[in-house]
Amino acid sequence: MGLKDVAAGIDIGGTNTVFGFVDRDGNILAEDRLKTTHYEEIEVFVAALYEKISVTAQKMGDGIEIKGYGIGAPMGNINKGTIEYAAGLPWKGIIPLAEIFHRHTSLPVIVTNDANAAAVGEMIYGGAKGMKNFVVITLGTGLGSGFVIDGKLVYGHDGFAGEIGHTAIRPGPSNRDCGCGRKGCLETYVSATGLKRSLLKIMADSIQPSELRKYSFEELDAEMIHEAAKRGDYLAKRAFQHTGRMLGFKLADVVAHTNPEAIFLFGGLALAKDLIFEPAKEYMEENLLSIYKGKVKLLASELSTQNAAVLGASSLIWSNLEAQSKT
C-alpha cells in the first residue's frame, strides 16, 4: 500500500494549539494538541509542536506522507508568514513563524489568520458550502473573524482583513482594557475571557446568589459558566445574555459592511447555543437597517470546535500545491 498524502493543519489558539493530519477529502486521520500557554518562547513552542507532530506521524506507522504545514493563528499574515502583535498569545511583536518553522522542515509552511482558516474550513467542508458571501466569527479565548466575499477569502491589502475583535464597542478611557493595548474592544466582551469578565462585573453589581461565587477568576472558564446557566444560575444566564447582546450589536455593523448571506459562530461560546444565539440574534435584528432585517442567517458552525481551523489551515496546503503544479 502506498503512502497517503496528508496536510498538517494547525490551529494556534490563545489556550490550546490543535493539529491534525488531513487528507484531500477533509478526513482528519489523527489529531492531537498542546498547551500554547506553556511556551514563553516561540522557538521552544515551534520545536515542541514540530516534535509532537512528528511523534504523532510515527505512531501512525508508514501510512502517511506530510505534504506541508498549514497554520491558522490570531493575527497570522499570509503574505509574510508572520504573527503580528497577537494580543492573546504569549509571544509579543512580530513573530516570523514560517521562518522559524522552516528550521525544522523544507516543506511548504503557510500561515494565516485562525478565523480565516476557519472560514475556509466552513466553506469547503461545513455549513457554508455553496455560499458566496458569509462571515465566520470564532469565539475562543479571543474573537476572530473571517470574511468570504464572492466566494473568496478577504485578505485585504496588507493581509490583515477581518479583525473585528479589535473594533471598539464601547470606546472611552473608563472601559475594559484589551490585550492589544486599547480600551473597550469587542473581544473584551465577546469571547470566553469576555464572558468571565462580564460574569465578575455582574457578580459585583448584584446581590443574587450564584453557584459560581465560590470560584476565582482564574478557576472559572466558559464551560463552567455554560453549565451553571443550563442549571438555571441567574448570574451565569445574565453573563451570557450580556455577551450575546454585545455580539449582536456588532453583527449589525458587520452586515452593513458586506451584507453577507450568513454569519457563522464557531468555537467554545457557540456551543452554548440559545444562551448566546438568542440575545445575539435579537440585538442584531434590532440594530439592522430595515433593508437587512430578517435576511441574514445567524448559524452555528457545522464543524466541531476543533476542526474548522485545522481543516481550513490544511486546505491552504492543497491549494498551494495545486497552484505550484499549474506553474
Cβ 49 to its own copies shortest distance, Å: 23
What are the start-end ranges of the E strands in the chain? 4-12, 16-22, 28-35, 64-73, 76-77, 82-84, 94-95, 109-113, 134-139, 143-149, 152-153, 262-266, 297-300
| Residue labelled with grid coordinates 448570574 | 235
Of 3, 44, 60, 156, the residue at the interface with its own copies (CB under 8 A) is: 156
- What is the pattern of x (binds its own copies, CB under 8 A) and - over residues 285-324? --x-xxxx--xx----------------------------
Closer residue to its own copies in complex, CB, 67/245: 245
Rounded (10°) CA dihedral 235, 239, 241, 247 = 180
Q: Which three cell numbers stand for residue 122?
A: 466552513
Q: Indicate whether 189 belongs to the interface with its own copies (CB under 8 A).
A: no
Report the C-alpha gap between 264 and 287 in whole angstroms.
18
Q: Indicate whether 133 belongs to the interface with its own copies (CB under 8 A).
A: yes
Q: Indicate whether 260 belongs to the interface with its own copies (CB under 8 A).
A: yes
Closer residue to its own copies in complex, CB, 273/295: 295
- What is the pattern of x (binds its own copies, CB under 8 A) and - over residues 219-258? ------------------------------x--xxx-xxx
Report the C-alpha gap between 227 and 104 in whole angstroms.
42
Rounded to 10°, the helix 222-230/274-287 angle is 90
Cβ neighbours of 43 (radius 10 Å)? 12
Cβ 76 to its own copies shortest distance, Å: 11
Residues written for the chain = 327
Report the C-alpha gap between 147 and 120 in whole angstroms.
9
Q: Indicate whether 282 belongs to the interface with its own copies (CB under 8 A).
A: no
Q: Indicate whether 261 belongs to the interface with its own copies (CB under 8 A).
A: yes
Closer residue to its own copies in complex, CB, 59/92: 92
**Which residues contribute to the site for its own copies (CB under 8 A)?**
75, 84-85, 132-133, 147, 149-150, 152, 154-164, 166-168, 171, 180-182, 249, 252-254, 256-261, 287, 289-292, 295-296
